[in-house]
Amino acid sequence: MLVHGSWQGGWCWQRVAPRLENAGHRVYAPTLTGLGERAHLASPAVDLETQTLDVVNVLRYEDLADVVLVGHSYAGIVIPSVVNQVPERVGRLVYLEAAMARDGESLATLLGPELAAGLEQTVNEQGDGWREPPVPLELLQVTDPDDVAWMEPKLTWNMYAPQIQPVRLDNPAAADVPRTFIWGDDATGAHEASPFFPVWKMFLERAEAEGWPIETVATGHQSMVTAPGELAETLVRIATP
């Protein structure tokens, strides 16, 4: 199961999902409430619990078990919340350059004071106090004109509440689910030049400190768009016993 990050939707996995299916895997790519094709459901009431249930309910109603649950970027907040509720349905968590939150932390906490303050200001000045516009794609290392033309019209505003709500990780059974971290090993320098890079690097360092397996994909933050083949191969390798 592939869970997208900020401003996106299940659509962002369109270049990866067919490759995983061709390798014999069953693929789900749910869109979180208020984003993508579910943008009409956006409201100040949507929070982390809402978006956690988006994924939990797919697992329950599709009667899935031993799932490799992949979260990209912001979804690093969502996937541990999911496994906290249904650890029996998840075989492994995969953090695709994703937020590494501990119990009681929020995404805003992880951003640090400067970026969190900038986020709050943007939300208040541009988003009526509850939503956030997309950032320029170049900050996510998406610069190819065809990629930009494909992604830009589909980007939707984030809701603020899920980003400031602390994650709750209080189920001891969830701690037994193994984790893997995937890092974007971009040699061009664009990755490192992003203002978000220190935060992404902190996620990697937390994963290393936890002793998780670390995989690398030779691209930037948006690997499902810029390096879908390599990412799919990496995910197949992770999912193979």
Give the residue numbers marked as catalytic: 73
Give the whole-angstrom CA distance, residue 53 versus residue 59. Answer: 10
Tokens of 131: 């939503």
Give the whole-angstrom CA distance, residue 81 versus residue 14. Answer: 25
Tokens of 240: 């193979």
What are the φ and ψ backbone dihedral angles of 132, each rounded to 5 degrees?
-130, 130
Convert 75-106 to b/e letters by CB count within 10 Å (16 or more is b): bbbbbbbbbbbbeebbebbbbbbbbbbeeeeb
Give the whole-angstrom CA distance, residue 183 versus residue 94. Answer: 11
